[in-house]
A and B are shown apart, each in its own frame.
Chain A
Amino acid sequence: SQLAEENSWALSVHEGESVTVNCSYKTSITALQWYRQKSGKGPAQLILIRSNERDNRNGRLRATLDTSSQSSSLSITATRCEDTAVYFCATERTGGYKVVFGSGTRLLVSP
Chain B
Amino acid sequence: NAGVIQTPRHKVTGKGQEATLWCEPISGHSAVFWYRQTIVQGLEFLTYFRNQAPIDDSGMPKERFSAQMPNQSHSTLKIQSTQPQDSAVYLCASSLAGGSSYEQYFGPGTRLTVL
Contact = CB atoms under 8 A, between A and B. Distances in A.
B contact face: mostly helix, strand, loop, or mixed: strand
Q: How large is the interface on A (under 10, 10 to 19, 20 to 34, 35 or more residues)?
A: 20 to 34
Given A30-B101, A91-B100, A44 B42 contact: no
B106 A42 contact: yes
B107 interface: yes
Given A41-B108, A42-B93, A42-B107, A97 B31 contact: yes
A81 B111 CA distance: 26
A98 B56 CA distance: 9
B106 A97 contact: no
Contact of A42 (B50, B55, B99, B108): B108
Contacts, number: 69
B108 A40 contact: yes
B106 A30 contact: no
A100 to B, nearest CB: 7
A26 interface: no
Q: How large is the interface on B (under 10, 10 to 19, 20 to 34, 35 or more residues)?
A: 20 to 34
Nearest to B59: A98
Interface in B83-104: 91, 93, 97-101, 103-104
28 contacts: A30-B99, A30-B101, A33-B100, A33-B103, A33-B104, A40-B108, A41-B106, A42-B106, A42-B107, A43-B91, A43-B104, A43-B106, A44-B106, A48-B100, A90-B104, A92-B100, A95-B99, A96-B99, A97-B31, A97-B50, A97-B55, A97-B56, A97-B99, A98-B45, A98-B48, A98-B98, A102-B42, A103-B42
